[in-house]
Structure 1
Amino acid sequence: MAIKLKEYSVDLLKYARKLINPKIGSYRFRIGNYRVIFDIDGENIIILRIGHRKEIYKDI
């Protein structure tokens, strides 16, 4: 997963999708069955959640 995160960081928005519910984060991308939910603050990527696709959106 760390390797994919590094690859995606080069052109992050190419792989990201904007989330409908901004309460949990602004964007997400997938790595296999896992999802990474994150925000962008200037040039910083703030990772908010990483989890399996079946679990990541629960408790929202």
Structure 2
Amino acid sequence: MYTYVFAPSALKELKKLSTDIRKRIITKLDHYTSSENPLLFADALVNHEIGSYRFRVGDYRIIFDREDEVIVVLAVGHRRDIYK
């Protein structure tokens, strides 16, 4: 089973979001990491400078890397801002 951790910058970005968006993101992360292979829910990123994969949660994106069975969340934000 996978687990997830937030990079300090991602945690800072998460705290800036509204409470209901935060809950949706955490709920989705829990759902994805409880599955056998969370990468089935992810899309690979072309630009690997910001991360290797992304999850989509409505209009928000979770950018992450995978280290063994740990999802390292690198960035969280609205889709219009996250890739800049």
Asked if these proteins are the same fold (TM beyond 0.5), I'd say yes
1:54 Cα offset (Å): 0.4
Partner SS, residue 38 of structure 1 = strand
Residue equivalent to 2:45: 19
Structure 2 unaligned regions, length at least 5 = 1-24
Larger RCO, structures 1/2 (Cα 8 Å, 6+ apart) = 2
Q: Normalized against structure 2, the TM-score is what?
A: 0.66
AA aligned opposite 2:32: Y
Q: Does 1:45 align with 2:71?
A: yes
C-alpha distance in structure 2 between counterparts of 1:5 and 1:53, whole Å? 17
**Cα distance between partner residues in 2 of 1:52 and 1:13:** 21
Structure showing the higher helix proportion among its residues? 2
Select the structure that is richer in strand.
1
Q: Normalising by structure 1, what TM-score?
A: 0.90
1:9 aligns with 2:33: yes
Count residues in correspondence. Answer: 58
Which of these two proteins has the greater Rg computed from alpha carbons?
2
Misfit runs of 4+, over 3 Å: none
Q: Could you tell me the percent identity over the aligned residues?
A: 50
CA distance in 2, matches of 1:25, 1:14: 17
